[in-house]
Structures are given as C-alpha cells and as structure tokens.
Amino acid sequence: RGGGFRSSELYDSYTNDTPETPHTHSNTHKNMKATVYIALTLDGYIATSDGSVDFLNHYQSSASKEDGDMGFSTFLNSVDLLIMGRKTWDQVISFGEEVWPYGDRKVWIWSREGSEEVHIPEVRRGQAEVVCMGPTEILKKAENEGFGHAYVDGGTTIKEFLRHDCIQEFVLTRVPLLLGSGIPLFASDGKSRLELEHLTTTPYSNGLVQSHYRIVKN
C-alpha cells in the first residue's frame, strides 16, 4: 500500500459553511513546513461522494516491484508530525493496527468539536492528541514543540489549512480516471488561485503520475 492513497487514509469531505476569503501567501513559520500528500483523479476528486477510495485498489495492486510504494516511505521519512481531520482519523483507526502506516510519529487530530468527540485507542494514547485551535495556531504550536515537517491530511483539513496560508508544498499523485463527481481536493469558488512551482514528476508503470510542487509566495 502507498503512493499517498493507502486505503487506511480516507479523506474528510469538504464543508462549505465557512466563507472563503483570498489570502496572500507568506509563511510566518520559518522553521515549519506543511505538505499535502494525496492522490486525486484527473478531474480533481480525492474520493467518491460517500468518501470511498475503493477505485484506488486496482492501482495499488498493479504497482510493479520497481514502483515499490511509489515514494510514500521516502516522503514519510521526511515527516515528524501528522495533522489530520477527525473523520480521516476515524477511518484510519477503523482499519485496525495491522494497517497503521505512520510508525511512532506524533499524530494531531484536528477537531472543532473538542477532544471528547474523538476516540483514541489505548495503544495510540501518548502518540495521538486532539488539537482544537486554528491552522495558524497549530503550526505555531508545532514549531514551538520542535517539529519541522507536517503531513496534512483530510479534505476539510487541507482546505482550511490552504485558506489560512498554512500549506507550503503538494505531492499530488494523479490517477488516470475520471470520476465525474465526488469530493474535490480544491475549492472551485474562483477565490483560491495559487501559483505553484513544479519541482519533480515521476511516472509509474500502473499509470499513476506523481508531481511535487511548491506554493509560490507572492
């Protein structure tokens, strides 16, 4: 399993009840980087409307030995903190310990409902904690605690971190599939324009194409 779309990493659906406002990107956390690492279809969806990513199973099973895990381990080795939404967390733990992909890295679960709404299994207590502050405050807390690179995951979480200028890089794995509808990665409100600098692109034998981008600061 890998390539930024392992089946234990289902994604939150976007909510549109928070008004979007344009921002000029300027990273105030000089020693802290946050990266989105995720798979999406050619028409921009990260999951079907009900949150399923079962359409990715074919590409996982057809990866060649040379493809390996399509860069996931290399990326994860650069990360010392995971920040994910509550729905994504619930999906991850629902698959059980046998598919836990994150090793002993710290996991922060972003929940605006409060910690009492989040179930943390006994085996993950001490490793996972709930954070209820905004994206900017989360990254400030992370920097103050000595973290350097956060992996941000979950549809709503990604959207809100982007809206608050708290993402610096994307690693996007393009899936050669048109879903037609589903949960989009990016907002389509016309207010979220970002200029990206292309860093690398790697094609894989199963048809996936992975590209690494940096957000250009204006």
pLDDT, tens digit, 9 for 90 and up, residues 38-79: 999 999 999 999 888 889 988 888 888 888 899 999 999 999
The SS3 of residue 54 is helix
Q: Cα 214–217–218 angle (5° rounding)?
A: 145
Burial classification of residue 138, based on how many CB atoms lie within 10 Å of its CB (0-12 exposed, 13-18 middle, 19 or more buried): buried
Which pLDDT score is estimated for 190? 60
Residues in the chain where the model's pLDDT stays below 50: 1-26
HSE-CB at 140 with a 13 A cutoff on CA atoms is 8
